[in-house]
Amino acid sequence: LDILNVTELLDALVALGTKLRLVLSFFTLRSDFMDYKTILDTANAIKEKLDNFTPKVAIVLGSGFGEVIDSIENKVEISYKDVPNMPVSTVAGHKGSFIFGNIENTKLAVMNGRVHLYEGYSVDQVVLPIRVLKLLGCETIILTNAAGGISYNLKAGDLMALNDHISVFAPNPLIGKNIDELGTRFPDMSCAYDRELTKLLSDTAIKCGIPLKEGVYAQLTGPSYETPAEIRMLRSLGADAVGMSTVCEVIAARHCGLKVVAMSLITNLACGMENKELNHKEVQEMGANITPKISKLIKSFVPLLKG
């Protein structure tokens, strides 16, 4: 070996090491572990602005679900940017504030907008607000999102309650030192989506005349939409819908003992199922069309949740 070859070999090894580390850091190592104190400080900063209001039900509003806000009474709005440690969304059309208030007698904490992994936030940051909502007093969380339909039983404009998820394509928020104050090291996920609450949501949907389907949601990181091959893979794995959020939040919510009910708005058929390209604007426009139905459903469902 001459000197030049050795140098090249070393360079190649360093490059390979960097690539491997990058891949590993995505699935295993944590870049900025958020400890319990940070979560508690964040919750306390919100509490200070709330005047003894204790929310019982949390709602995370994804794209298409924003109109729910209009049904909330006695609103107090706190912008994410005014809360220490809170990540702030960078995506057009995604909002960023907590709204506290009530629908009938149910005290609510609503997240109008969330941040996503694809914005570059760590999974710790993505799930911080979920943990904060628990510390504020919430017992139940309703998560909503926009998703692409993979199942042949879904069409654009459908609503789908989640009855299970596939999390293996997104980082798990519980990797790293367990936060014992929040929950156990190995939380059970056999029934992540509360069966009773999901049944109650379905019954409410029927009463409102809004068809609600059920299925399995897979979270990928985005931001690129999936390829047709990835959609075929997801279908063969049992996914009915795909999106870029929610599952990390559900895992964090179950870890800290929140009851979960979740719902997707199917804004489009997944990539490769129709002879056209996907774009963010169309996804948002479909959201806007169906939003009155969604708010009617949530407005009828929330008062049924016991404080």
Task: State yes or no: is 119 an active-site residue.
Answer: yes
Q: Are 136 and 61 in contact (CB under 8 A)?
A: no
- Looking at residue 66, what DSSP letter applies? G
Q: Which residue has the tokens 């999390």?
A: 167
CA dist 240 and 103 (Å) reads 31
Per CB under 6 A, 147 contacts ligand HPA: yes
Per CB under 6 A, 267 contacts ligand HPA: yes
Task: State yes or no: is 245 an active-site residue.
Answer: yes
Indicate the Cα dihedral angle 159, 164, 170, 173, nearest 10°: 110
Task: Count CB atoms within 10 A of the CB of residue 182.
Answer: 17
Minimum distance from CB of 243 to ligand HPA (Å)? 4
Tell me the three state secondary structure of residue 284: helix
Q: Which residue has the tokens 């806000």?
A: 69
Task: State yes or no: is 116 an active-site residue.
Answer: yes
Residues in region 11-50 near ligand HPA by CB under 6 A = none
Per CB under 6 A, 249 contacts ligand HPA: no
Per CB under 6 A, 244 contacts ligand HPA: yes
Per CB under 6 A, 65 contacts ligand HPA: no
Which residue, 244 or 263, has its beta carbon nearer to ligand HPA? 244
Per CB under 6 A, 278 contacts ligand HPA: yes
CA dist 235 and 25 (Å) reads 28
Residues that bind ligand HPA (CB under 6 A): 146-148, 225-226, 242-244, 267-268, 270, 278, 283
* Active-site amino acid positions: 63, 94, 116, 118-119, 146, 244-245, 268, 280
